[in-house]
Structure 1
Amino acid sequence: MAIDPKSFEAIADLAYRESGLQLVVEKASMIQSRLRHRLKAVGTDSFASYAELVCSDEGLDERRQMISALTTNVSHFFRESHHFELLGQKILPGLIDKLRAGRRFRVWSAGCSNGQEAYSIAMTMLETFPEMAKMDVKILATDIDPKVVSFGRSAVYPERLTTGIPKNLKDKYFSVQKGKEGDEYTASEALKSLVVFKELNLLSNWPMKQKMDVVFCRNVVIYFDADTQDRLWPRFHSLLNSDGHLFLGHSERISEPSNAGFINNGPTSYRPIVAKR
């Protein structure tokens, strides 16, 4: 069952409008594979009828399921470790006195996938300063895919998804129990208390009413075209505190940082330009 060109174009246009995903015709076979179970779920064996459904008002719920099926959710704990090192060795030590005095500290894991990034941030915080557990500190973890948001909120990981956690941290911050497919690791209450999971489309309105200190948006915008990326950078700039930090994935760059209000601060790391008075 192959997807016809008209249906592919309709689905690709919808995915771009809804989530910024770029679906190219060269990946048609992969897209077919990812959507076949959705066709079965809605009771059709035709990509044409499926495209008609998701593009209609009646297909709003299925539209979310389609985006979920098309979204790549690949992550692991402490991925691209240099960002966590910068957080623990440079950023937090420079703020600890202010945090002890009552300053709030907010981190956004944008495109959090299964939650490994958010819990890696939490472990970095607690390992740097255990007292942060009692400070005004929160990590917002968001993703467009409701399934991975729910998975991250559960904080239960099969052993194969715990790759990257040093043994001492796994022993300290996770409990292990037998699951249906082997050992499962559950994050401690100390970690879970720092993280709030929410479903959020990066291209929609952002509900945050207060500024962020650090934004991790890694290996997300690589799926967006240049125009979509260029619309996101100023939004991140507006959301960050003047001493904030933006981390991108290893294959992502802001092409003209100064145009978006940023300066480079190391590999795939950026800081807002502070206007001189």
Structure 2
Amino acid sequence: MKDYTFNDYRKMVEDHLMDFIPDVDHKSITLYESMKYSLMSGGKRIRPVLLLAACDFCGGNLREALPYACAIEYIHTYSLIHDDLPCMDDDDLRRGVPTNHKVYGEAVATLAGDGLQSAAYEVMSRDMLFYFDDAEALKRKVRAAYEICKGAGCRGIVAGQIADISVGDQNCSREMLDYIHLTKTSALIVAAIRAGARLGNADEDTLEDLTVYAENLGLAFQIRDDILDVEGSEEEMGKKSGMDSKNKKATYPALSGMEESKKWLNTLTEVAIDALSKYYDNAEVFVKLAKDLAVRDK
């Protein structure tokens, strides 16, 4: 594994994020502008970074992984656009700027999300077309694409979203809350890690260790997000605080209290780090990310 930092991987993503967006006819230019608006409005780029880092960790080729890293960010961005719509969480602010539907209207925002999602699948499929003469490379890419599609679909973020809007904060069990966030949040983080590992041709033991790390990181990330919605400020987070309470969402602080939520956040972070402890300095980028996310203010 090369001595890359989180910011090194992030720069790779930022430098190429628009490269794989399919050409849009000028007659549909509003769609392109709306997609680009949300895609390039900032963000931590955690999922594509994790994909690249996992690929690198397992000895893969980062250049070959870039289309998949960008694809997973397209999917994540589409999910945020839809999540912000009035029919979902009804948010006015995302990453410090007005949400997509506030700029382009609900219909265009919905279609921009659809466009980004389909672009992700087009990008991955198009990349596979170049590897018909290399069966082993093609297998790695098919497996990576499968991980991403699974994390994005009806067993992943879509399942989490439907459970989230179906359950209020008054009748949500801990089991259901864990399910919501293992699907709504963790699933795409797990998909990123596993896709990167698949591209790097990881052995099963390494794949399992990375999966345990990602599952716990994803839950920890969501708990920190729940905590920030209560304790954070709009200026720090780039979005409105208190929205979970306003929308009567099931959250860890609402269910278990703030003190217990912070303890659980720390436990999950420790479990994530411990899952990769046997890799020592080779896993430094993953360890540092887990620690940073546990104390983030946005």
User: Normalised by the size of structure 2, how large is the TM-score?
Assistant: 0.26
The structure whose residues are more often strand, as a share, is 1
| More RCO (CA 8 Å, sep 6+) | 2
The structure whose residues are more often helix, as a share, is 2
Rg (Cα) greater in structure: 1
User: Normalised by the size of structure 1, how large is the TM-score?
Assistant: 0.27
